[in-house]
Structure 1
Amino acid sequence: AQTGAWEVMKAAERARKAKNGPASALDGVALALPALMRAEKLTKRAGRVGFDWPSAAPVLDKLQEEIGELEEAIAAPVKDQAHIAEELGDMLFVVANLCRKLEVDPEVALRNANAKFVKRFSGMEELARSRGLDFASLTLDEQEALWVDVKKIERGA
């Protein structure tokens, strides 16, 4: 009985969609997905109907273009936060597409980058303490020097 009711409901949904015009290749990509995952799925769906670059190289070119547009928005004499946010969003969208082209899960990549940042930042704080320094009192240049030291330690240099 439940299966029959489900089929009736899905048939009604399909009929409603058909009445509203042709379906989009992007229909069905859930709005509730995390934004990076949704961007990846949107580009994958678009690719299924031919709207896709053949390799990662043109996606990297597009990323450079988006970075340029972001730099222009930031350098504008009058700050337009909405425009800056739009350009940042475009850049993130292209990064998600690049992840797809390179077969990298963007959520996992960002999660790993977050973990690496936490590890290095904690290492900076620990290194400062071991040198008798108050991390929060250091200048940005001094903190960045600690960052470089932590990276060297990680690499065994």
Structure 2
Amino acid sequence: MSNINKNNPQLNRLLDIMQQLRDPNTGCPWDQKQNFESIVAYTIEETYEVADAIFSGNMVDIKDELGDLLFQIVFYAQLAEEQKNFDFEDIAQSISDKLVRRHPHVFQATELKTDDELNLQWEKIKLQEREVAARPNDKSVLANIPIGMTPLLRAQKIQRQCSKVGFDWTEIPPVVDKIHEEIEEVLAEVNASEPNQQAVEEEIGDLLFAVVNLARHTSVNAETALIKANRKFEKRFRQVEQVIEKQGLSMESADMQQMEAAWQLIKSR
């Protein structure tokens, strides 16, 4: 494994540990049999655990989870080096070169730009990069949006790209009207004499897409908002369980009115 810098002993140590874990003779059997595809799920999981730690505000947890995520990158680097494709140093060089290339207003003698000018410059540079890399000649504004993004993030990215060419509302009221329209269409399918589950699913998908659009228009990241909503609901529900238990009941024996009363009590606090 290539040493990055003698002044980074812990990074070198991590790279050496990864190499030992993958050693075909003395390494860990689990690590030995992994490949690029098999650890993708773990990478995604670690990314969410980083986000969860950040939202919890515990700096020790954030440090630990960032370490787990860094290990994923080191793992990919080791796999690639074994295949003689690239190593960790190549990864670091690649992102460093890209950051310098995409920020000429910082690393070159150019004037600072407005946000709109910076966004335009960013997209222009990315387009040039794709041309140099000889990527498939997909000229759609939606080209190169990763399929592997979570649905909420991908919906937001699709909408943002469409907005760049003017395919977007400029005010919030029509965005809200669209949400109401989609709710009505969901209810129409749900209340049909013979509900079609596939149609219900499609309309709920349209509703979710419309809600993501509202998040985007209000400068809210839909993924972050939902993560926080999940955390808030979980915290309140656990408190409801405690209230119900103090009443000598269980969640299974309590009726909906008792649970709703406990929920309102928790909200009022």
Compute the TM-score of the two structures, normalised by the length of structure 1: 0.84
Contact kept in structure 1, 2:183 and 2:207, CA below 8 Å: yes
Q: CA deviation at 1:152?
A: 1.2
Q: Deviations over 1:116-151 (max 9, x none)?
A: 110111011001112222221111222111111111
Match of 2:174?
A: 58
Q: Does 1:120 align with 2:233?
A: no
Match of 2:190?
A: 74
Q: Does 1:10 align with 2:126?
A: no
Higher relative contact order (CA 8 A, sep 6+): 1
Match of 2:72?
A: none
State the superposition RMSD in angstroms. 2.1
Question: Which aligned runs of 4 or more in structure 1 are off by greater than 4 angstroms?
Answer: 6-9
The equivalences for 1:5-154 within 5 A come to: 10-11=133-134, 13-14=135-136, 17=137, 23-153=139-269
Q: Higher Cα Rg: structure 1 or 2?
A: 2
Query: Identical aligned pairs, as a percentage?
Result: 36
Matching residue's letter, 1:10: A
Q: Relative to structure 1, is the Cα distance of residues 8 and 76 closer, same or farther in structure 2, using a 3 angstrom cutoff?
A: closer
Q: Deviations over 1:23-51 (max 9, x none)?
A: 11111111110000000010010111110
Distance in 2, matches of 1:113 and 1:53, equals 26
Q: Relative to structure 1, is the Cα distance of residues 45 and 135 closer, same or farther in structure 2, using a 3 angstrom cutoff?
A: same
Q: May I ask how many residue pairs the two structures share in their alignment?
A: 143
Q: CA deviation at 1:58?
A: 1.1
Gaps of 5+ in 2: 1-85, 87-93, 95-128
Contact kept in structure 1, 2:153 and 2:222, CA below 8 Å: yes
